Amino acid sequence: MSTANRERCRLPSHDTVRLTQAQPADLSGKDVGTVNEHIRNIINRTVERSRIMPYVNIKITREGATPEQKARLIAGATQLLVDVLGKNPATTVVVIDEVDTDNWGVGGETITVRRKAGK
């Protein structure tokens, strides 16, 4: 890209600029087809990322939740997002992290200590 073209590209960071198809090609020294393909790829990646949301992360202590209980948590969290926010269940991701009770603390104590103390 020539120095003159680079100078023409300097804009305040949040301004909206409308360009013809030929202008980005001219500024970058690429042909219009290449520029259009690049723009399509950016749009497709953005759309693809939006399809994998929302993401729900459930953290529970590792104290014997059964596979059936975890399946109910996943189904319930997914349905909640459908009902409340109108999200697509096919693109809703739910992850359950089980944390050892020695690695989870409340009030300055591990869950292991709290369970032994009957808290």
For the question of residue 24 being annotated catalytic, the response is no
Read off the tokens for 91.
């693109």
Residue among 57, 62, 68 at smallest CA distance from 98: 62
| Strands 93-99, 55-61: pairing kind | parallel
Give the Cα separation of 71 and 115 in Å (integer).
Answer: 25
Active-site residue (options: 24, 54, 67, 89): 54
| Catalytic sites, residue numbers | 54
